[in-house]
Amino acid sequence: MIIDCHGHYTTAPKAHDDWRAAQTAAFKNGGDVDPAYPAISDDEIRESLEANQLRLLRERGADMTIFSPRASTMAHHVGNEAVSKAWTRRCNDLIKRVVDLYPETFIGVCQLPQSPGVSVAHSIEELERCVTELGFVGCNLNPDPSGGHWTAPPLTDRAWYPFFEKMVELDVPAMIHVSGSCNANFHATGAHYINADTTAFMQFLEGDLFRDFPTLRFIIPHGGGAVPYHWGRYRGLADMLKKPPLREHVMRNVYFDTCVYHQPGIDLLFKVIDLDNILFGSEMVGAVRGIDPETGNYFDDTKRYIDALPIPDADKQKVFSGNARRVYPRLDASLKARGL
Ligand SMILES: [Zn+2]
């Protein structure tokens, strides 16, 4: 079985985005930031997926996608807490409709109603709703709701603890995932995303979060940002900071996906990082949608790169599904309930 741990609904029906445009306009004009939501038919949702994610899943030979709202439009920095809350509910409810239409192919992960300067504790209610009522198996946690200005405390700060306590209680992991950038220095998917991945890892290294939360789990996407490439630097920093080796200090709780869009990057990831810490992901249809002229294949067809690795099939199976089932116990339970 092949489970893609990193997919967003980047092709949501236009009416959904129109609602968001109306909402943000209402915020500027002092109007209702939770206007009536348009009727979107099941067929519109099916069309938006059949031509895109579902077609590519079938073509590439994957079975399932852990699916969440579009990350770049979470835009926690837009509006205020009420804006973020209303938008987040609409986005998560739309994911629930996708999962209901294709329960064998998609399983939900939620966006959170974060907002700059607002305690992440205010996101607990939505996490709980999505996990216990909608059947979602994880969340996307934004370490920088300011959109590129980094005004929130590090992830190891106690300000995040109430949220982490709830994650542990519900037994769900979080993918560390920033959203759009409103800082012109940082291109969203080319710089801000990769910065955030790298930054989150260094915060975990510098702190002692997993001493307080031994079962807390995070997926750092995009191959772990710059971390695998600079693994010696991080091992050396852990040593200088008098931390235990990374294997004990961070890597019992942190996983990287395979959203690295070329073979040499995947080769390096697998050479440096333990297999048990790597989850198959493609982030399609996402940041890089084109075809690599050097190979003739889609950049984000990451399954090909793993298929090409000279490692045993049993190891590939861990990366394709075993590790995801371990990191997302609620996904595992749902598959077992289906006899898988
Ligand atoms: Zn993503």
- Separation of CA 123 and ligand 1 centre (Å): 19
**Which stretches of the chain drop beneath a pLDDT of 50?**
none
State the distance from the centre of ligand 1 to the C-alpha of 266, rounded, in angstroms: 17
pLDDT digits (tens, 9 = 90+) for 277-292: 999 999 999 889 999 9
pLDDT at 286: 87
Q: Which pLDDT does position 175 carry in this prediction?
A: 98
Between CA 19 and CA 50, with CA 53 as vertex, the angle to 5 degrees is 80
CA of 239 from ligand 1 middle (Å) equals: 31
Total number of residues shown for the chain:
340
CA 174, 193, 318: angle at the middle one, nearest 5?
Answer: 50
Pick the closest to residue 130 from 112, 115, 114, 118 (CA basis).
112
pLDDT score recorded for residue 169: 98
Rounded CA-CA distance 261/212 in Å is 35
Q: What is the pLDDT of residue 287?
A: 86
pTM for the full model? 0.97
pLDDT of 321 reads: 98
**83-122 burial string, b = 16+ CB within 10 Å, else e?**
bbbbbbbbbbebbbebbeebeebbbbbbbbbbbbebebeb
pLDDT of the residue at 137: 98
Token pair in block for residue 48:
């938006």
Report how far ligand 1's centroid is from the alpha carbon of 71 (Å): 6
The rounded distance, in Å, linking the Cα atoms of 64 and 99 is 11
Which uninterrupted H or E stretch holds 8?
strand 3-9
pLDDT in tens, 35-67: 999 999 999 999 999 999 999 999 999 999 999
289 CA to middle of ligand 1, Å? 13
Q: What is the pLDDT of residue 223?
A: 98
Instruction: Report the separation in Å between the CA atom of 118 and the middle of ligand 1, taken as the mean of its atom positions.
Output: 23
Contact 279, 324 (CB under 8 A): yes
Relative orientation angle of helices 231-240 and 193-206, to the nearest 10 degrees: 30
Tell how far the Cα of 142 is from the centroid of ligand 1, in angstroms: 11
Rg of the chain over Cα atoms, rounded to whole angstroms, equals 19
Residue pair 142/175 in contact by the 8 Å Cβ criterion: no
Omega within 30 of 0 (cis) for the link into 227: no
pLDDT at 181: 97
Active site residues: 283
* Residue 334 alpha carbon to ligand 1 centre in Å: 23
Per-residue pLDDT, 203: 98
